[in-house]
Amino acid sequence: MNKSAIIIDDELTSVEALRGLLNRYCPDINVVDFAHGVVSGLQAIEKNNPDLVFLDVEMKDGVGFDILQQLPDEPTFQVIFVTAFDHYAIKAFRFCALDYLLKPVDPDLLVQAVDKAVKVSNEAMANKIKILQKNKNGNEKIVLPSKDEFFVAEVNEIIRCEANGNYTIFYLKNHQPQLVSKTLKEFDELLSGSKFLRIHKSHLINLEFVERYLPKDSQVIMKDGARVEVSRRRKDVFLKYLFNN
Protein backbone atom coordinates (compact mmCIF):
# COMPACT_ATOMS: atom_id res chain seq x y z
CA MET A 1 0.00 0.00 0.00
CA ASN A 2 3.10 2.24 0.21
CA LYS A 3 3.04 5.16 -2.20
CA SER A 4 5.83 7.45 -3.31
CA ALA A 5 5.46 11.20 -3.25
CA ILE A 6 7.47 14.27 -4.10
CA ILE A 7 7.02 17.78 -2.79
CA ILE A 8 7.55 20.78 -5.08
CA ASP A 9 7.78 24.05 -3.20
CA ASP A 10 10.28 26.87 -3.46
CA GLU A 11 10.57 27.32 0.30
CA LEU A 12 12.65 24.78 2.12
CA THR A 13 10.78 25.28 5.39
CA SER A 14 7.49 24.56 3.64
CA VAL A 15 8.89 21.32 2.26
CA GLU A 16 10.09 20.35 5.71
CA ALA A 17 6.75 21.22 7.32
CA LEU A 18 4.80 19.09 4.88
CA ARG A 19 7.28 16.20 5.09
CA GLY A 20 6.98 16.26 8.87
CA LEU A 21 3.20 16.14 8.67
CA LEU A 22 3.25 13.28 6.16
CA ASN A 23 5.64 11.26 8.34
CA ARG A 24 3.44 11.77 11.35
CA TYR A 25 -0.07 11.49 9.90
CA CYS A 26 0.33 9.53 6.65
CA PRO A 27 2.99 6.88 7.36
CA ASP A 28 2.12 5.03 4.10
CA ILE A 29 3.42 7.89 2.02
CA ASN A 30 7.14 7.89 1.25
CA VAL A 31 8.53 11.28 0.37
CA VAL A 32 11.21 10.27 -2.12
CA ASP A 33 12.32 13.66 -3.40
CA PHE A 34 11.61 17.33 -3.42
CA ALA A 35 12.20 20.27 -5.76
CA HIS A 36 12.26 24.06 -5.49
CA GLY A 37 10.89 25.23 -8.81
CA VAL A 38 9.34 24.50 -12.14
CA VAL A 39 12.49 23.22 -13.87
CA SER A 40 13.78 21.09 -11.02
CA GLY A 41 10.23 19.93 -10.37
CA LEU A 42 9.93 18.55 -13.90
CA GLN A 43 13.25 16.75 -13.49
CA ALA A 44 12.18 15.29 -10.15
CA ILE A 45 8.95 13.97 -11.64
CA GLU A 46 10.78 12.41 -14.56
CA LYS A 47 13.41 10.83 -12.33
CA ASN A 48 11.12 9.40 -9.65
CA ASN A 49 7.87 8.69 -11.46
CA PRO A 50 5.95 9.29 -8.21
CA ASP A 51 2.40 8.26 -7.28
CA LEU A 52 1.66 11.59 -5.69
CA VAL A 53 2.88 15.15 -6.21
CA PHE A 54 2.35 17.96 -3.71
CA LEU A 55 2.55 21.06 -5.83
CA ASP A 56 2.93 24.62 -4.56
CA VAL A 57 0.85 27.06 -6.60
CA GLU A 58 3.13 30.07 -6.60
CA MET A 59 6.87 29.66 -6.99
CA LYS A 60 9.71 31.97 -7.91
CA ASP A 61 10.25 30.73 -11.46
CA GLY A 62 6.57 30.18 -12.33
CA VAL A 63 3.33 28.79 -11.07
CA GLY A 64 2.56 25.18 -10.28
CA PHE A 65 0.36 24.95 -13.35
CA ASP A 66 3.39 25.45 -15.56
CA ILE A 67 4.80 22.11 -14.49
CA LEU A 68 1.63 20.36 -15.51
CA GLN A 69 1.60 22.13 -18.82
CA GLN A 70 5.22 21.30 -19.59
CA LEU A 71 4.91 17.59 -18.88
CA PRO A 72 5.79 15.59 -22.00
CA ASP A 73 2.81 13.25 -21.52
CA GLU A 74 -0.42 13.24 -19.56
CA PRO A 75 0.30 13.10 -15.85
CA THR A 76 0.54 9.58 -14.47
CA PHE A 77 0.32 10.66 -10.85
CA GLN A 78 -2.09 12.31 -8.44
CA VAL A 79 -1.66 16.03 -7.75
CA ILE A 80 -2.52 17.77 -4.53
CA PHE A 81 -2.12 21.53 -4.82
CA VAL A 82 -0.78 23.47 -1.86
CA THR A 83 -1.21 27.22 -1.51
CA ALA A 84 -0.97 29.89 1.16
CA PHE A 85 -3.61 32.27 -0.08
CA ASP A 86 -4.87 32.53 -3.61
CA HIS A 87 -8.55 33.03 -4.23
CA TYR A 88 -8.30 32.72 -7.93
CA ALA A 89 -6.48 29.42 -7.86
CA ILE A 90 -8.72 27.97 -5.17
CA LYS A 91 -11.83 28.75 -7.15
CA ALA A 92 -10.28 27.16 -10.23
CA PHE A 93 -9.50 23.98 -8.26
CA ARG A 94 -13.00 23.81 -6.90
CA PHE A 95 -14.49 24.08 -10.37
CA CYS A 96 -12.49 21.02 -11.36
CA ALA A 97 -13.11 19.15 -8.11
CA LEU A 98 -9.34 19.02 -7.59
CA ASP A 99 -7.94 18.68 -4.10
CA TYR A 100 -5.92 21.46 -2.55
CA LEU A 101 -4.46 22.21 0.85
CA LEU A 102 -3.95 25.53 2.53
CA LYS A 103 -0.76 26.43 4.38
CA PRO A 104 -0.26 25.87 7.25
CA VAL A 105 -1.66 22.44 6.50
CA ASP A 106 -4.40 21.03 8.68
CA PRO A 107 -3.48 17.42 9.60
CA ASP A 108 -7.07 16.17 9.25
CA LEU A 109 -7.49 17.66 5.81
CA LEU A 110 -4.11 16.24 4.74
CA VAL A 111 -5.19 12.74 5.69
CA GLN A 112 -8.48 13.20 3.85
CA ALA A 113 -6.80 14.46 0.69
CA VAL A 114 -4.25 11.65 0.66
CA ASP A 115 -6.93 8.98 1.25
CA LYS A 116 -8.88 10.34 -1.68
CA ALA A 117 -5.86 10.58 -3.98
CA VAL A 118 -5.06 6.94 -3.41
CA LYS A 119 -8.51 5.95 -4.66
CA VAL A 120 -8.85 8.14 -7.75
CA SER A 121 -7.58 6.80 -11.06
CA ASN A 122 -4.72 8.58 -12.77
CA GLU A 123 -6.83 8.93 -15.87
CA ALA A 124 -9.53 10.87 -14.01
CA MET A 125 -6.87 13.12 -12.55
CA ALA A 126 -5.43 13.81 -16.00
CA ASN A 127 -8.86 14.77 -17.27
CA LYS A 128 -9.53 17.16 -14.41
CA ILE A 129 -6.19 18.83 -15.02
CA LYS A 130 -7.04 19.18 -18.68
CA ILE A 131 -10.20 21.03 -17.73
CA LEU A 132 -8.29 23.19 -15.28
CA GLN A 133 -6.01 24.26 -18.10
CA LYS A 134 -8.91 24.87 -20.47
CA ASN A 135 -10.67 26.99 -17.88
CA LYS A 136 -7.74 29.38 -17.76
CA ASN A 137 -9.78 32.25 -19.19
CA GLY A 138 -12.73 31.90 -16.84
CA ASN A 139 -14.51 28.94 -15.42
CA GLU A 140 -16.54 27.71 -18.35
CA LYS A 141 -16.61 24.04 -17.42
CA ILE A 142 -17.35 22.45 -14.11
CA VAL A 143 -16.54 18.95 -12.90
CA LEU A 144 -19.51 17.33 -11.16
CA PRO A 145 -18.31 14.37 -9.10
CA SER A 146 -20.70 11.49 -8.50
CA LYS A 147 -20.20 8.29 -6.60
CA ASP A 148 -17.54 6.71 -8.74
CA GLU A 149 -17.11 8.89 -11.76
CA PHE A 150 -17.52 12.49 -12.74
CA PHE A 151 -19.43 14.48 -15.31
CA VAL A 152 -18.11 17.56 -17.06
CA ALA A 153 -20.74 20.23 -17.66
CA GLU A 154 -20.64 23.58 -19.42
CA VAL A 155 -21.55 26.19 -16.81
CA ASN A 156 -23.94 27.92 -19.18
CA GLU A 157 -25.76 24.65 -19.79
CA ILE A 158 -26.81 24.37 -16.16
CA ILE A 159 -30.50 25.17 -15.90
CA ARG A 160 -30.87 24.67 -12.18
CA CYS A 161 -29.62 22.71 -9.17
CA GLU A 162 -31.78 21.10 -6.56
CA ALA A 163 -30.76 19.96 -3.08
CA ASN A 164 -31.31 16.31 -2.26
CA GLY A 165 -29.96 15.57 1.20
CA ASN A 166 -26.19 15.67 0.96
CA TYR A 167 -26.45 15.43 -2.81
CA THR A 168 -27.36 17.90 -5.50
CA ILE A 169 -29.29 17.17 -8.67
CA PHE A 170 -28.12 19.14 -11.68
CA TYR A 171 -30.64 19.78 -14.45
CA LEU A 172 -28.81 20.47 -17.69
CA LYS A 173 -29.63 21.54 -21.19
CA ASN A 174 -29.28 18.61 -23.63
CA HIS A 175 -28.32 16.11 -20.89
CA GLN A 176 -29.83 13.78 -18.33
CA PRO A 177 -30.08 15.13 -14.79
CA GLN A 178 -26.94 14.39 -12.78
CA LEU A 179 -26.82 13.33 -9.15
CA VAL A 180 -23.72 14.97 -7.69
CA SER A 181 -22.11 14.07 -4.38
CA LYS A 182 -21.73 17.54 -2.94
CA THR A 183 -24.18 19.81 -1.12
CA LEU A 184 -26.08 22.62 -2.80
CA LYS A 185 -24.42 25.05 -0.38
CA GLU A 186 -21.05 24.34 -2.00
CA PHE A 187 -22.34 24.96 -5.50
CA ASP A 188 -24.17 28.08 -4.38
CA GLU A 189 -20.87 29.47 -3.15
CA LEU A 190 -19.08 28.42 -6.33
CA LEU A 191 -21.63 29.50 -8.93
CA SER A 192 -23.39 32.46 -7.36
CA GLY A 193 -22.61 35.58 -9.28
CA SER A 194 -24.39 37.38 -12.02
CA LYS A 195 -26.14 34.36 -13.51
CA PHE A 196 -26.97 32.04 -10.64
CA LEU A 197 -29.23 32.82 -7.73
CA ARG A 198 -30.40 30.84 -4.75
CA ILE A 199 -34.17 31.34 -4.68
CA HIS A 200 -35.00 28.72 -2.11
CA LYS A 201 -33.10 26.66 0.40
CA SER A 202 -33.32 23.73 -2.06
CA HIS A 203 -33.02 25.59 -5.36
CA LEU A 204 -30.24 27.37 -7.17
CA ILE A 205 -31.28 28.57 -10.62
CA ASN A 206 -29.60 29.99 -13.70
CA LEU A 207 -31.45 33.25 -14.30
CA GLU A 208 -30.87 32.97 -18.03
CA PHE A 209 -33.19 29.98 -18.12
CA VAL A 210 -36.11 31.70 -16.41
CA GLU A 211 -39.15 31.58 -18.67
CA ARG A 212 -41.86 33.08 -16.50
CA TYR A 213 -42.57 34.13 -12.94
CA LEU A 214 -45.92 33.38 -11.31
CA PRO A 215 -46.30 35.85 -8.46
CA LYS A 216 -49.46 34.26 -7.10
CA ASP A 217 -47.92 30.84 -6.60
CA SER A 218 -44.50 32.33 -5.98
CA GLN A 219 -43.03 30.01 -8.59
CA VAL A 220 -40.75 30.36 -11.57
CA ILE A 221 -41.18 28.37 -14.72
CA MET A 222 -37.85 27.44 -16.23
CA LYS A 223 -37.24 27.06 -19.93
CA ASP A 224 -37.30 23.27 -19.57
CA GLY A 225 -40.82 23.53 -18.16
CA ALA A 226 -39.91 22.87 -14.53
CA ARG A 227 -41.74 24.79 -11.85
CA VAL A 228 -39.50 25.96 -9.03
CA GLU A 229 -40.62 27.52 -5.79
CA VAL A 230 -39.30 30.93 -4.70
CA SER A 231 -39.18 31.20 -0.92
CA ARG A 232 -41.04 34.04 0.75
CA ARG A 233 -37.94 35.82 2.00
CA ARG A 234 -36.08 35.47 -1.30
CA LYS A 235 -38.82 37.02 -3.41
CA ASP A 236 -37.50 40.59 -3.27
CA VAL A 237 -33.96 39.54 -4.01
CA PHE A 238 -35.14 37.36 -6.87
CA LEU A 239 -37.15 40.10 -8.52
CA LYS A 240 -34.32 42.57 -8.15
CA TYR A 241 -31.90 40.20 -9.85
CA LEU A 242 -34.34 39.23 -12.53
CA PHE A 243 -34.82 42.82 -13.63
CA ASN A 244 -31.18 43.80 -13.34
CA ASN A 245 -30.03 41.08 -15.68
Partner 1 sequence: MWAFFFKSFLVLCFVFAANLAFAQNVFENQLLLDAQRDLQQRKFAQALDKARVVYDNAIAKEDTVLKGESSFIIGKVFQKNGSYLVALEYLFTSLKIFDKNVGKKSEVLKTLGDLYHDWGGYKKGLEYYKLADSTSIDPEFKKDIKEAEGDIYSHLNQADLALVEYDKAIALSSFKDVVFLQRIYKKKSDIFLERHDYDNALLMEFKQFDLVTHSVDQHTKATILNNIGYLYNFKSDNEKALVYFKKSKITSIETGDTDSLYITLINIGAIYNIKKDLDSSLMALNEALKVVSMDKNKEKEATVRNYLAATLLEFKKYSEASDNNRIAIDLIKNSNNLSLLSQCYYIRSKIMEQKGKTKEQKYYYDQYKKLNDSLNLISTLFQNRQAEVDSLISTKESKIQQLLLNKEIDNLVLKQYKLLSEQREKDIVLLAQQNSLQKMALNNEMLNKDRVSRMWLLTQKELENERKAHEISELQKSRSEQDLLTQKTAVKLNELAKENLQNELDIEKQRTELNKSAHERLWIIFGFSGGLTLIFLAFGYYSQRKNARESQLKFANLEIQQRLLRSQMNPHFLFNSLNSIQGFINSNDSDKANRFLACYARLMRSILENTSKEMVSLHSELEALKSYIELEQMRLGNSFTYQIEVKEIESDMIAIPPMLIQPYVENSIMHGLRHKVSGGLLKISIFPSEGFLNCYIYDNGIGREASKVINENRSKDYKSVAMNLTRDRLELLNAKDNSNMEVGIRDEFTLDGNPSGTTVILKLQLVEYV
Q: Is 106 in the site for partner 1 (CB under 8 A)?
A: yes
Among 111, 152, 226, 237, binds partner 1 (CB under 8 A): 237
Q: Is 189 in the site for partner 1 (CB under 8 A)?
A: yes
The residue among 151 and 241 lying less far from partner 1, judged by its C-beta, is: 241
In degrees and rounded to multiples of 5, residue 110 shows phi and psi of: -65, -45
Alpha helices in 192-232 (DSSP H): none
In the complex, the smallest distance separating the C-beta of residue 112 from partner 1, rounded to whole angstroms, is 13
In the complex, the smallest distance separating the C-beta of residue 243 from partner 1, rounded to whole angstroms, is 14
Task: Measure the CA–CA gap between 40 and 207, rounded to whole angstroms.
Answer: 47
Amino acid at 73: D
Close Cβ partners of 245 (under 8 Å, ≥ 6 residues apart): 194, 195, 207, 208
Site residue total, partner 1 (CB under 8 A):
24
Secondary structure (3-state) at 222:
strand
In the complex, the smallest distance separating the C-beta of residue 109 from partner 1, rounded to whole angstroms, is 8
Q: Is 177 in the site for partner 1 (CB under 8 A)?
A: no
- Identify any residues that bridge with 206 across adjacent strands, giving them in sequence order: 196
Q: Is 188 in the site for partner 1 (CB under 8 A)?
A: yes
Secondary structure (3-state) at 244:
helix
Q: Which stretch binds partner 1 (CB under 8 A): 62-70, 118-126, 169-177, 188-196?
A: 188-196
Contact positions with partner 1 (CB under 8 A) in 123-152: none
Of 141, 115, 105, give the one whose Cα is nearest residue 52.
115
CB 207 within 8 A of CB 240: no
Contact positions with partner 1 (CB under 8 A) in 10-39: 20-21, 24
Query: Which residues make up the interface to partner 1 (CB under 8 A)?
Result: 20-21, 24, 85, 102-109, 185, 188-189, 192, 197-198, 201, 233-234, 236-237, 241
